[in-house]
A and B are shown apart, each in its own frame.
Chain A
Amino acid sequence: MPETYVSEAMAAAVGRELERRVSYPIAASDIRRWVVAVYYPEDPPRLFWDELYAATTPFGGIVAPEDFNPFAWMAAEPAGVPRREGYDPNSTETRLGLPSAGLSFQLNGGLQAEYGVRMRPGDVITWVMRLGGYREREGRLGRMLFTDMEATWTNQRDEVVKRTTSTLIRY
């Protein structure tokens, strides 16, 4: 096991843009399917699926839950079905054109989010993710590399929907 996974090139890459995506317009039934999954086996709140009810609420219509992801399966930009390299534990570095850090596994270590305006049907979301930083720690499974990925999500009016930081644990 190396003394550190973080090469000079990796340290120098902190702050660089990793990825940018633009969603297709969110469909009401994209939201409906999402809430069926996250509330299963119980019914989700009517705000997320019943247009007549949602129109009577302070939201004035269906909104997406804060945790909704409009980029599953396919985005408008980059076009086409996303490549599956995201499940490669070394993809963070390879996307930046850096040598592989030689990692074998990757887990979701944690999430942070600050929320702005709600996502609604018809919204087009732009997502820009940057490399936030690296930390290392010894864990039960040996040396672990914690990698923060910082993303800003904005809608078609350039309003911030959310700012998120996701932490990858790799080893």
Chain B
Amino acid sequence: MTTDLQPGATIPPFQRTTGFHNWNRFAAVNDEFVDIHMDDGAGQAAGYPGAFGMGNLQWAFIHNMLRDWLGLEGRIVSVACQFRGPNLRNTVVTAHGTITAVRPTGSETLIDLDV
């Protein structure tokens, strides 16, 4: 972890250009073969421009970012996110994090981030 532990500091982002190569691999490990993630027609029927990626994969990207930053000494205490728009094919998805608070406790330091 090399980021200054101060509110306003940003942590290194995690970024992927996403499409069927990512989604199909994730579908295979999460058994998530849902039409809206595989078929443009199904995505359009649901009201979107085409097929789109899994929220669960974006959730994993957030965790990848946090773990890559924390290294082996830190731990993820809790995470929350909302999915507000579709991750369409060839979109560059970036997980960002900004420190909002640093809270020393007896045995460890809790760090809040806006991700």
Question: Which A residues contact B (CB, under 8 angstroms)?
Answer: 33-34, 36-41, 45, 47, 57-59, 65-67, 69, 72-73, 82, 87, 105, 107-115, 140-141, 167
Contact = CB atoms under 8 A, between A and B. Distances in A.
Contacts of B28: 33, 37
Contact of B30 (A72, A105, A107): A72
B26 A37 contact: yes
Interface size classification for chain B: 35 or more
Given A45-B67, A58-B73, A66-B63, A107 B31 contact: no
Given A36-B25, A58-B72, A108-B55, A115 B78 contact: yes
B65 to A, nearest CB: 11
Given A65-B60, A65-B67, A110 B82 contact: yes
Contacts of B75: 115
B21 to A, nearest CB: 7
B46 interface: yes
Contact of B83 (A36, A66, A108): A108
A33 B29 CA distance: 7
Contact of B79 (A87, A113, A167): A113
B54 to A, nearest CB: 7
Contacts of A111: 55-56, 59, 79-81
Contacts of A39: 64
A110 B55 CA distance: 8
A56 to B, nearest CB: 10
Interface of B: 16, 21-22, 25-26, 28-32, 34-36, 45-47, 54-57, 59-61, 63-64, 67-68, 72-73, 75-83
29 contacts: A33-B28, A36-B25, A36-B29, A37-B29, A38-B29, A38-B57, A38-B60, A38-B64, A40-B16, A40-B22, A47-B72, A57-B72, A58-B73, A65-B63, A65-B67, A66-B76, A69-B29, A69-B30, A87-B35, A105-B47, A107-B83, A109-B82, A110-B80, A110-B82, A111-B55, A111-B79, A111-B81, A114-B78, A167-B82
B105 to A, nearest CB: 16
A67 B60 contact: yes
A112 B64 contact: no
Contact of B34 (A34, A41, A73, A87): A87
Contact of B59 (A37, A67, A107): A67
A41 B25 CA distance: 10
B22 to A, nearest CB: 6
A111 B30 CA distance: 16
